[in-house]
Amino acid sequence: MHFQQIVRGVWGVGALLLLGACQPQKPATPTLDGGNPKQGKMLLAQYQCGSCHRIPDVESARGLAGPSLERFALRSYLAGRWPNRQEALVRWISAPQAMAPGTLMPDMGVSPEDARHMAAYLYTLR
C-alpha cells in the first residue's frame, strides 16, 4: 500500500469519527416529581395559556403571541435561558416576572401546585 492511501484511510476514519461526534444529541426527558398531566392539561385551558401559546390537544390553544409549546419535552431551555427542568418550569409558570422582570410572559396567579400539574402535561409533549 502506498503512503498516500494510508494517509487517506486515516483521514477518512478521522472524518467519520468527527462527523459522528457532531450529531445533535436528543435532550434528556426531564424527570418529574409529582404532577398530574391530565389535570395540567385542564389547568392550561383554565388559565387560558392558549391565548398566547399553541398547545397540542388543549382546546382553543392556538395563540401566536408566545412560542408554540409543541414538543416541549424535547427542549433544552426554558425561555431560552434556564435548563428545562421541572423546578425551573414550575417557577417560570407561577412567577415569570420574578425570573425575568419585563418578560412578556405575564404573572397569571398560578400556584406552584397548579404549575407542577401544568409542567407534567407539558413534559408529555414529545
- Position 72 in a domain: yes
- Position 116 in a domain: yes
3-state secondary structure of 79: coil
Determine the average pLDDT of the residues in 58-78.
93
pLDDT at 7: 47
Does the pLDDT value for residue 61 go beyond 70?
yes
Quick one: CA dihedral 62, 101, 73, 75, positive or negative? positive
Residue numbers of the domain that contains 40 = 30-122
- Position 11 in a domain: no
Determine the average pLDDT of the residues in 50-59.
94
3-state secondary structure of 111: coil
Residue 113: closest CA among 97, 88, 91, 96: 91
Determine the average pLDDT of the residues in 30-57.
90
Query: What residues are paired with 77 via a beta bridge?
Result: 83
The count of structural domains within the chain is 1
What CATH number is associated with residue 38? 1.10.760.10
- Position 6 in a domain: no
- Of all residues in the chain, the percent with pLDDT exceeding 90 is 71
